[in-house]
Amino acid sequence: MESVQAIKQRFGIIGNNQKLNRAIEKAIQVAPTDISVLVTGESGVGKESIPKIIHALSHRKHGKYIAVNCGAIPEGTIDSELFGHEKGSFTGATTTRSGYFEVADGGTIFLDEVGELPLPTQVRLLRVLENGEFLKVGSSKSQKTDVRIVAATNANMGDAIKAGKFREDLYYRLSTVDIHLPPLRDREEDIHLLFRKFAADFAQKYKMPTIKLDDQAVLILLKYHWAGNIRQLRNVAEQISVLEQNREINADTLRHYLPDLGNNLPAVINGKKSESDFGNEREILYKVLFDMQRDVNDLKKLTLELLNTGSSEKVQKEHSNLIKKIYTEEEDDAFEELTAIADENDENNEVEVISTNKGPSTIDTQDKYHFAQEIHEEEKLSIKDKELELIKKALEKNNGKRKAAADELGVSERTLYRKIKQFDL
């Protein structure tokens, strides 16, 4: 049995983290068996290395090794890709095709992003794991295959099972042995080592001197969150190698390549918020809505009192505290015009417009308050009742002439006719 260090050198794995070493040890131990293995870990941690190790150290090492990204294959064709299809089984199936499980007979299949498999395909895969049999798409003849399955996922499988997106029985079949690879932020002792390796590789690739980090830059490198793990670290090393003329990289330069550095927003755990988080958000939303409703109701009361008394000066004097509560004193622009409610005793039924920024006004402009136009009866009054009342008034004012009433209401004559029929006027 090869040592962990020998395996690292053979497969180009960099790092001395204890959790990484334990994952490699488990891969070495299970390799000689035919046990199904599930590799877990965040995206970018290098999960694809584990199935290669398992295949290379198994008795299947001379057989085929096929890696399949389940998330990259469309749902409508994945069954055909994995299990093959018969000629004429679907549109475009002009010939019989062998699937990966038939081609890899005697070898190993690596199912990356296995959590993305659609449920019907999961049923087919479960049958392969249970008795080594599968059916081609469009065929009724069962075929045998002898394949070692190693799967990988960055999803939380417990959550996927609860959500009904992944079969629990299939999960237990796949995860006979679970090998977890730690995220890069938990491998602090390996981060600078990996960066130096990537920097040397890119210097050789692009035929230029190797970049080096000063002490402050190294500290930033080690404390960074690395949400994209090794893949992100490699990309940063490549960007700096290509773009920077100065090969001595300081902290300020490195910060330009870590755009979210210093982002102290709370992380979402396991890809979702807790129920308490959603509860707090709902409470805040309800409070905002209730406050808005209360302010609107206060505004309606003011407008109604202005309508009933006809004296805006008196209303302002009696309700100055309420007005200050509703309207802020921070507006510096000119005040918009206030459209007052028509005087019910005015036989011409005209609307008086009071301006707060030109001409005399009964509203004190130094308070910097402006009123939004609002027509209000009682809180229980419905929009339908108000609509009916306005239509009646418009018809009475225009002596029953629909066209003139429609023009005054700002609607088409056809709409007014429909409303008249609706309200049986």
Domain holding 410: CATH number?
A: 1.10.10
Last residue of a domain, one of 182, 199, 225: 182
Q: Judge if 231 and 83 occupy the same domain.
A: no
Q: Judge if 79 and 156 occupy the same domain.
A: yes
Q: Judge if 390 and 301 occupy the same domain.
A: no
- Please check the confidence at residue 268 and state whether its pLDDT lies above 70: no
Q: Domain range holding 414?
A: 383-423
Q: Judge if 154 and 52 occupy the same domain.
A: yes
Q: Please state the three-class secondary structure of 341-371 as a single string.
A: CCCCCCCCCCCCEECCCCCCCCCCHHHCCCC
> How many domains does the chain contain in total?
4
Position 202 scores a pLDDT of: 96
For residue 414, name the pLDDT band (cuts at 50, 70, 90): confident
Q: Judge if 87 and 210 occupy the same domain.
A: no
- Please check the confidence at residue 158 and state whether its pLDDT lies above 90: yes
Say if 22 falls within a structural domain. yes
For residue 401, name the pLDDT band (cuts at 50, 70, 90): confident
Position 9 scores a pLDDT of: 94
Q: Judge if 25 and 138 occupy the same domain.
A: yes
- Please check the confidence at residue 131 and state whether its pLDDT lies above 60: yes
Structure tokens of 288?
């905002």
Q: Judge if 158 and 122 occupy the same domain.
A: yes
Domain holding 160: CATH number?
A: 3.40.50.300
For residue 358, name the pLDDT band (cuts at 50, 70, 90): very low
- What's the pTM? 0.61
Say if 21 falls within a structural domain. yes
Say if 265 falls within a structural domain. no
Say if 40 falls within a structural domain. yes
Q: Judge if 248 and 319 occupy the same domain.
A: no
Q: Judge if 40 and 178 occupy the same domain.
A: yes
Q: Judge if 22 and 144 occupy the same domain.
A: yes
Position 286 scores a pLDDT of: 62
Ramachandran area for residue 106 (φ above 0: left; ψ -120 to 50: alpha; else beta): left
Q: Judge if 292 and 250 occupy the same domain.
A: no
Q: How many CB atoms lie within 10 A of CB 205?
A: 11
- Output 40 or 400, whichever has higher pLDDT: 40
DSSP for 64-93, written as a single string: -EEEEEGGGS-TTTHHHHHHEE-TTSSTT-
Position 76 scores a pLDDT of: 87
Q: Judge if 218 and 247 occupy the same domain.
A: yes
